[in-house]
Structure 1
């Protein structure tokens, strides 16, 4: 599988690898376990990631809004 080969190429060896699609805003077009909802990220990774993603999103919303509101 591509993920396993990528790991091997950078010197990491694994017994298994998995790939999932993250649907951050919750509308899953694939069934679990292929799909992970954004609300389930903290549970999936067993680590708080959702809040960090929200902080990054807020930063880029602010930047994008500033660009849109700039006068030429």
Structure 2
């Protein structure tokens, strides 16, 4: 049994997009397949892109939003 199943999404894999499911156990992607497998929690990704392994590396230091400023600056971040 998987912890999480991200089902029915358009998954980017090996340079292409495929309609399939992503299964996660203990915080690790352990299976990407068309099979409908058992999982504790299901998320329906129908009509959405699923991009396993992608990391968004951008950050905002000393970002001002209205009267608030983010807590990290260039030294602490």
The TM-score bracket by the shorter chain reads under 0.3
Whose helix fraction is larger, Structure 1's or Structure 2's?
1
TM-score, with length taken from structure 1: 0.22
Q: Which has the higher contact order (CA 8 A, sep 6+)?
A: 2
